[in-house]
Amino acid sequence: MEGFTKIGEMRVSLLTVNVIGTLISIPVLLLFAAAELLLFRHSELGWRQLCYFVAGFGLQTIMHELFHAIGYIFDGGLRWNQVKFGVNWKGLSPYCICLSPIALPPFRRAALLPTVVLFPLSVALWLMFQSWWLNLMAASTLAGAVGDFIIFLKSRNYPPNLFIVEHASGAGGDLFVAVPEQSR
């Protein structure tokens, strides 16, 4: 990459993300289920609500990755052709990655953007409509952010003047430093 020199990498295995995500998801789901029963005492599990959840979960997944792209583009200065959407089938993980160097501060903000937007929205919808499937959507929004939080926390170990280019094979990517114009 012209104008940048690779200095290392920041990686988290998808297995690690999935294990930690599973361990965190169980108490999150139990907490939200308890809140649903205490607040609204709903217990009906109909096919219609299950279909709503499946459709909502698919839409939420797409929106989650779209918010990463929005962060990369509007905060990180990338263009649409510099981001890539896909699914890592080995890790069962949908992704949106930056294909060009992005500075770590906007990268960190883009990592958290889906949760900052979607979690409060999903909780508000659950409280307004008082439906168990919306409760499960709120819980899954939070549980689905585990990998993003891990990447955010890991990236805090690196100085803000670095840039990152992500890889679809795992969470994280290659780290770069910008080369001054006169050094090229």
| Burial (CB count <10 Å: 0-12, 13-18, 19+), residue 121 | middle
What is the pLDDT at residue 182? 67
Higher pLDDT, 77 or 42: 77
Going from N- to C-terminal start, the domains of the chain cover 4-183
| Average pLDDT of span 46-67 | 93
What burial class does residue 129 get, using C-beta atoms within 10 Å of its C-beta: 0-12 exposed, 13-18 middle, 19+ buried? exposed
Which helix (H) or strand (E) segment holds residue 175: the answer is strand 171-178
Cα-Cα-Cα-Cα dihedral of 110, 115, 121, 122, to 10°?
A: 140
- Whether residue 118 has pLDDT greater than 90: yes
pLDDT of residue 88: 83
d(C-alpha 99, C-alpha 81), whole Å: 8
* CA R_g for the chain: 19
Cβ-proximal residues to 28 (8 Å cutoff; 6+ apart), any chain: 139, 142, 143
For the chain, what percent of residues have pLDDT higher than 70?
97
Give the pair of three-digit tokens for residue 44: 């009906």
To the nearest whole number, what is the mean pLDDT of the chain?
Answer: 90
Pairing relationship of beta strands 102-103 and 93-98 according to DSSP bridges: unpaired
How long is the chain? 184
Q: How sure is the predictor about 44, in pLDDT bands with cuts at 50, 70 and 90?
A: low
What is this structure's pTM? 0.90
